[in-house]
Every structure is written in structure tokens, then in C-alpha cells.
Amino acid sequence: QQQVKQSPQSLIVQKGGISIINCAYENTAFDYFPWYQQFPGKGPALLIAIRPDVSEKKEGRFTISFNKSAKQFSLHIMDSQPGDSATYFCAASIRDTGFQKLVFGTGTRLLVSP
């Protein structure tokens, strides 16, 4: 099953708070899990990514937590700022017909209130 389920659909967080977005998958053949950030009128931009042999990866205020047994991963944005307001997509990479391709979640629209 090549699907990635993402929740919530939208999220409002106060400035300084923690934003948490969750994703789940079924196919254990996925081997790379990136998160993309998209601002209105722009293309998705790679934010942070993790491989399934690691349980956590942190880059600045952004952290991915990965639970291989539960087939879930999440993005945590610490000290959320109004500039973080964007749509976030989780994705999973799978080898298909000999090459890697990404399967995207449905997106989470984050609004950080001042």
C-alpha cells in the first residue's frame, strides 16, 4: 500500500509553542522520510529528512521522531514562529521500477499566531 496518512489537516499554534504533525505508513519498503515546507505561491522545499535506522533527527528548531515498529513519524517544530506558517508535507521514498520516488501525505496547514 503506497500511501502516507498525515494529520492534522490544519493546526493553529501560539508563538513560542510546539507544533506537531503526524504521519503514518503501511509499506515497510519505504526507506527515506522527508518533510517539505511550502509557502503560498512557492514550490515545496525540503526541510528535514530521516532514514528508518534512526529514531530522531534534529535540525535547529525542527525535529523528526521516527517509530519504526509503529510505522509512524512526526515533525516537531519547537518555539514556533509566525514565519513558520506554511503547509507541511510528509513524504516517504520507495524504490519503484528500479528508481526512487516519493509518496506525499495530504499536507498540514500550520498557522502560528503572534
**Interacting residues with another protein (CB under 8 A):** 32, 34, 36, 41-46, 49, 89, 93, 96-107
Distance in Å, CB of 79 to another protein, minimum: 26
Distance in Å, CB of 35 to another protein, minimum: 12
Q: What amino acid occupies position 70?
A: A
Residues 25 and 71: beta-carbon distance below 8 Å: yes
Distance in Å, CB of 89 to another protein, minimum: 7
Shorter beta-carbon distance to another protein: residue 2 or 113:
2
Shorter beta-carbon distance to another protein: residue 75 or 80:
75
Angstrom CA distances, 78 to 36, 67, 112, stand at: 16, 19, 12
Angstrom CA distances, 106 to 5, 10, 37, 112, 114, stand at: 7, 11, 12, 20, 26
